[in-house]
Structure 1
Amino acid sequence: MKFLHTMIRVKDLERSEKFYKEALGFVESRRKDFPEDEFTLLYLKLEDSPYELELTYNYDGRDYTIGDGYGHIAISHKDIKSFREELKNKGYDVTELKALSDKSDHYFFIKDPDGYKIEVIGEK
Structure 2
Amino acid sequence: MGQELVEICLRVRDIDATLDFYTNLFDFKVDEERKYPDDGFDLIYLASPGASVRIELTYNYDADPYEVGNGFSHLGVTVDDLEAMHDVCKASPYETGDLRGLSGGTPSYFFVTDPDGYRIEVKRRK
Give the alignment's TM-score, normalised by structure 1.
0.93
2:70 corresponds to: 68
CA shift, 1:80, in A, is 0.3
8 Å Cα contact 1:105-1:123 kept in structure 2: no
Q: Which runs of 5+ in 2 are unaligned?
A: none
Partners of 1:43 and 1:55 within 8 A in 2: yes
Aligned residues: 124
C-alpha offsets along residues 70-115 of structure 1, whole Å, 9 cap, x if unaligned?
A: 1001010010011101211233211001111366771000000011
> Aligned residues: percent identity?
33
Q: Which runs of 5+ in 1 are unaligned?
A: none
Letter in 1 for 2:27: G
Match of 1:92 in 2: 94
Q: Stretches of 4+ moved more than 2 A in 1? A: 101-105
Equivalent in the alignment of 2:49: 47
Q: Report the RMSD for the aligned CA atoms in angstroms.
A: 1.4
Structure 1 counterpart of 2:118 = 116
Task: State the alpha-carbon separation in 1 of the partners of residues 27 and 125 from structure 2.
Answer: 16
Q: Is the 8 A contact 1:105 1:121 kept in 2?
A: no
Residues 82 and 123, structure 2, Cα contact 8 Å, conserved in 1: yes
Number of the residue aligned with 2:79: 77
